[in-house]
Amino acid sequence: MTAASGMAALRMEGVDSFYGHVQVLRGFDLELKSGEVLCLLGRNGAGKTTALKTIMGLVPATAGRILLGDADLTKLPPHEVPKAGVAYVPQGRRLFSELTVAENIEVGLMTRGKGAATREAVLDLFPVLRERLKQRSGTLSGGEQQMLAMARALCLEPQVLLLDEPTEGLMPSMIARIRETVAGLRERGVSTILVEQRVDAVLPVADRVAFIENGRNRETVPVERLRADPDMVHRYVGVG
């Protein structure tokens, strides 16, 4: 595990957001350091997924700021956020299931005008996708779909990567593969926010963990502290 640089890659300051009339995020603060893997842990409905969607502009922030470097993402329309360098792997993959693997990758490449070199680099990370380029993405296995969802996001060559429950429903070998990929991205300086329900999936890869409760970031701690004090997980998540 490499140490993060200490500079903030992304910062959320006092962010509020709503689904309709229901407030989900309440004065939400979060700091993602450059080159770190920050995990959001919390119960269902705590606001983890909403935090990621608010960063992407898919759920509008009604108060506060979301800073990527000096740029305030809340001032951008949603389709400009990925162009600024934030890539998103949604919960449940959300592939364009009627499109082929190659077409899904092409959509990712188009986002920031990347070309063949990026495409090859991404396919080198997930070689199995090379054999499936003409296959409709909805017909891939769960693990392959997750690889494609990550490949599509990495086509942006992002500074910040948002992963929403990437290990959900995957077999252990595939979970290990995802962890390796996240660790590899950290080596290349990509900062990652990882939303997870399972603590065992987080510990081997995260640098810090933020506990989310009722739309607020209650506490952000280094992962070593979580190892030393497992009760902390019980307090916020209710499971070990």
Identified binder of another protein from the candidate list 75, 79, 130, 235, rule CB under 8 A: 79
Comparing CB distances to another protein, the nearer of 81 and 206 is 81
Provide the angle, in degrees to the nearest 10, between the axes of the packed helices 142-154 and 172-187: 10
The number of residues that bind another protein (CB under 8 A) is 26
Q: What residues from 56 to 75 belong to the interface with another protein (CB under 8 A)?
A: 56-58
Contacts of residue 214, defined as CB under 8 A and 6 or more positions apart, other chains included, come to 26, 46, 47
Comparing CB distances to another protein, the nearer of 92 and 222 is 92
Contacts of residue 45, defined as CB under 8 A and 6 or more positions apart, other chains included, come to none
CA–CA dist 66, 183 (Å, integer): 25
Strand order in the sheet with 160-164: 86-89, 160-164, 191-195, 37-41, 208-213, 216-222
Taking the complex as a whole, the smallest distance from the CB of residue 146 to another protein amounts, in Å, to 15
Taking the complex as a whole, the smallest distance from the CB of residue 160 to another protein amounts, in Å, to 13
Contact 223, 208 (CB under 8 A): yes
Comparing CB distances to another protein, the nearer of 100 and 220 is 100
Q: What residues from 197 to 236 belong to the interface with another protein (CB under 8 A)?
A: none
Identified binder of another protein from the candidate list 33, 48, 132, 152, rule CB under 8 A: 152
Comparing CB distances to another protein, the nearer of 94 and 225 is 94
CA–CA dist 170, 91 (Å, integer): 13
Segment lying near another protein (by CB under 8 A), choices 5-13, 76-84, 128-136, 189-197: 76-84
Taking the complex as a whole, the smallest distance from the CB of residue 75 to another protein amounts, in Å, to 16
Comparing CB distances to another protein, the nearer of 56 and 199 is 56
66 token code pair: 């979301």
Comparing CB distances to another protein, the nearer of 108 and 199 is 108
Give 22's strand partners: 19
CA–CA dist 227, 212 (Å, integer): 18
- Main-chain phi, psi angles of 41, to 5 degrees: -115, 145
Count CA atoms within 13 Å of residue 230 on its CB side: 5
Closest CA to 42 of 34, 50, 53: 50
Binding map of another protein across residues 81-120, x = CB under 8 A, - = no contact? xxx----x-x---x-xxxx---x--xxx-xxx--------
Identified binder of another protein from the candidate list 60, 78, 142, 238, rule CB under 8 A: 78
Question: Counting contacts by CB under 8 A, is residue 77 touching another protein?
Answer: yes
Interacting residues with another protein (CB under 8 A): 56-58, 77-83, 88, 90, 94, 96-99, 103, 106-108, 110-112, 152, 156
